[in-house]
Amino acid sequence: MVIMAIIKILLIAILVVSLLGLGISFNKTRTIEKVTYPKDFKILGAASESGEVTNLIDVTGTYTNYVDPDKVDIYVGAQTDADKASDSQQQNAAIMQNIRNGLSLKGITSKSIQTTQYSLQQIREWDDIKREYVNKGYRTIHILKIKLTDINKAGEIIDIAVSNGANRVDNVVFGLSDTVEKQMRIQALTEAGKNAKEKADAIASGLGISITKVNRASESSVWVTPYYAMKENLAAGVAAAPTEISPGQIQISASVGVSYEFV
């Protein structure tokens, strides 16, 4: 019996040593660490220690309007190809001078004309027989931007340019003058702000809460989109009938983000 008791004691000792080796503790006391939050930590719907309200409704107000343009920019010019670079350049210069003279006769001064593109490049094309690029001459391109405040003259000015040698009409862009655009931007932001307030009031009504004041507001974006009237495949020469360009309306859009406090 003594021997059996000794064996049991040894087995228990071995078991305890094994458990300690595995890192298993029999301490029944567990320490709970206190969690400390940063001072600026806020729970939505509650107030901070300073009493700052954090009950917020975030909305985005939008507004879109369409207005008639009061200016137009016409992009016209000439493209000339020749075997020699000097010939291409001289031919182009002669055409552009004729265009300027024709515009001048219609009261378009140099202040309303601006060069937006000028290039002289070698024309290189792939030759399937020779299996290489070959020189096909030289190309000169000269494009003018003609600025008009009388948008109804757009078609007439294009006809004048073409009748004086222009073979490129790249763009006709209707837009707003700086003064009108500024006014439209202010109006768009004002209406977007009103739309944000309407949305916040609707949400508050549905939730049975009351809006107290604006917490913060910011301009998200304001867009003024010009109207592009493309006129393609215009060949040099006088058209059989006057060119008619119908101006489209200009789109003005605004977006604002607003946070409202509520109780």
The pLDDT tens digits along the chain (263 residues) read 555 555 556 566 565 445 445 444 444 444 434 434 344 333 344 454 555 647 999 999 999 999 999 999 999 999 999 999 999 999 999 999 999 999 999 999 999 999 999 999 999 999 888 888 999 999 999 999 999 999 999 999 999 999 999 999 999 999 999 999 999 999 999 999 999 999 999 999 999 999 999 999 999 889 999 888 865 444 444 455 678 888 889 999 999 999 999 99
Residue 89 · residue 190 · CB < 8 Å: no
Nearest Cα to Cα of residue 148 among 102, 103, 97, 181 = 103
The predicted-structure confidence for 219-261, as pLDDT tens digits, reads as follows: 988 999 988 886 544 444 445 567 888 888 999 999 999 999 9
Residue 69 · residue 147 · CB < 8 Å: no
Helices and strands, number each (H, E), in the chain: 4, 8
Which pLDDT score is estimated for 184? 96
Which pLDDT score is estimated for 33? 43
Residues in the chain: 263
CA distance 231 to 146: 15
CA distance 167 to 236: 5
The arrangement of secondary structure in 71-175+230-245, i.e. its CATH architecture, is 2-Layer Sandwich (3.30)
Instruction: Give the count of alpha carbons within 13 A of 251, CB side only.
Output: 8
The predicted-structure confidence for 61-80, as pLDDT tens digits, reads as follows: 999 999 999 999 999 999 99
Residue 134 corresponds to which tokens in the numbers above? 């070959």
